Amino acid sequence: MTSSTSNFEQLRLDGVTRRFGPPDTPAALSELDLTIERGEFIALLGPSGCGKSTALNCLAGLLPLTAGSIWQDDRRVDTLPPEKRGFGMVFQNYALFPHLTVRDNIAFGLRMRNLPKSDVQRRTTEAIEMVQLTEHTSKLPGQLSGGQQQRVAIARATVLEPSLVLMDEPLSNLDAKLRLEMRTEIRRLHQSLGLTTVYVTHDQEEALSMADRLVVMRQGKVQQIGTPEEVHTKPSTWHVADFMGYRNLLPLKASQLNGDQVTVDLGGTAIRGAAQGPVAPGDDVIAAVRPEDVKLADQGVKGLVEVVEYQGRERAVEVVLDGGVQDGVAQDPVRLHVRTERRVEAGEQVALTVTPGRLLVYPS
């Protein structure tokens, strides 16, 4: 059996649900609908515990579904056991077979397929060369570094040229530098082998840089599906915004509405933002803006510098704004995260402006 026979044009997840426990408990994964095109690189993104691994294990066949179905073109696959699906999987802790050498680990899947010895030999050697482990072929996994183990895991899962490769936070156990290198390498492999990949991560930067499409999840539910750019610039909810680096999530009140332009009151100054949902004047809203879209200026919203973190070229600055008085009640002070190249110090009075169009206003 070669994997190309089981290759598909589309993989469709239809209301895939998985619950651990009785029916009244919240589902770990709830009604996931997703269509994956052949050759796509999809990232499942979300905070720890949001159901990413559950989704991946359901796809791999390692967890039975509570409800829903998975279709490979017109063939239903969610009823097949994992060994019949032909999907490759890279596990978070690599799950290399500790008693087998690097070569035998990588050849494992080929041997299970009863391919001729010479084929196994050739394809294994190619895979070993591809992940640059030629000098380590006869070592046991325990004798390898984390990055090398990772490469073995990737080679083992991809040597079969599976119709779908599933990766569960494969880089989370590596150090920062190696993580960057491996990112590029995984992306390169994906392209050169023409793989279809579903990649799980909780690191938004990783997801943005690697994926063609992101699926952002929270508490078992899909929040948004879109290209990295869509998710980055137009998060669908403030939870997604939070996850996409909008560090400033300010609980404010909408005062005026003009088309999808909302005016909110920030530290006594009226600021315009783009409404991202139904908002009416007087509503409590959450205004989201990235630190890099808040600038120190000569005039604007007044505030007091509280914390300064030196971060190389830039400084991350925390500014406290006066909450002001609303309806005769003193409001809590608002904290804003700002990035600036200007040399500021704690205790300094500063003025801030928000880059026009970069403030997103969500109903709370």
Partner 1 sequence: MSATWQHRLAERGVDRRLWLLLPATIFVLLLFVYPFLYGLSLSFQPTQGGGVLANYDKFFGDAYQRDTIATTLKIALPAALLNVLAAVPIAFRLRGRFRGKRLLTTILVVPITLGTVLTAQGLLNYLGPTGWLNRVLLSLHIVDNPIRLTNNYWGVFFSLVITGFPFAFLLVLSYLSGIDPTLERAAATLGASRAQRFRRITLPLLAPGLATTFLLTFVLAFSVFPSAVLVGNPAGSTRVISLAAYQAAYEQYDYSYASAIAMVMGAVELVVVAIVLVWRSRLYTGSTGGKG
Q: Which of 1, 15, 20, 93 binds ligand ADP (CB under 6 A)?
A: 20
Judged by beta carbon distances under 5 to 8 A according to partner kind, the member of partner 1, ligand ADP, Mg ion, none in contact with residue 178 is none
- Enumerate the H helices of 113-261 as residue ranges: 117-130, 146-158, 176-193, 204-210, 228-233, 238-243
Applying CB under 6 A, the span of 50-58, 113-121, 125-133, 328-336 interacting with ligand ADP comes to: 50-58
Task: Identify residue 245 by its one-letter amino acid code.
Answer: G
Residues 23-42: x where in contact with ligand ADP by CB under 6 A, - otherwise, as a string: -----x--------------
Residue pair 214/226 in contact by the 8 Å Cβ criterion: yes
Element (H, E) at 79: none
Of residues 74-103, those binding partner 1 (CB under 8 A): 81-83, 85-89, 91, 93, 95-99
Q: Residue 153 Cβ, how far from partner 1 at the closest point, in Å?
A: 8
Residue nearer to ligand ADP on the CB measure, 50 or 352: 50
Count of CB atoms situated within 10 Å of the CB of 56: 25
The reply to whether 354 sits near partner 1 by the rule CB under 8 A is no
Q: What is the DSSP string of 152-163?
A: HHHHHHHTT--S
Q: Are 286 and 238 in contact (CB under 8 A)?
A: yes
Which H or E run contains 29?
strand 29-37
The answer to whether 174 and 26 are in contact (CB under 8 A) is no
**Would you call 3 helix, strand, or coil by DSSP?**
helix
**Which option in partner 1, ligand ADP, Mg ion, none does residue 18 bind, with CB closer than 5 to 8 A by kind?**
none
303 binds ligand ADP (CB under 6 A): no
Binding residues for ligand ADP, rule: CB under 6 A, are: 20, 28, 46, 48-54
Binding site for partner 1 (CB under 8 A): 60-62, 81-83, 85-89, 91, 93, 95-99, 108-109, 112-113, 140, 142, 156-157, 160, 166
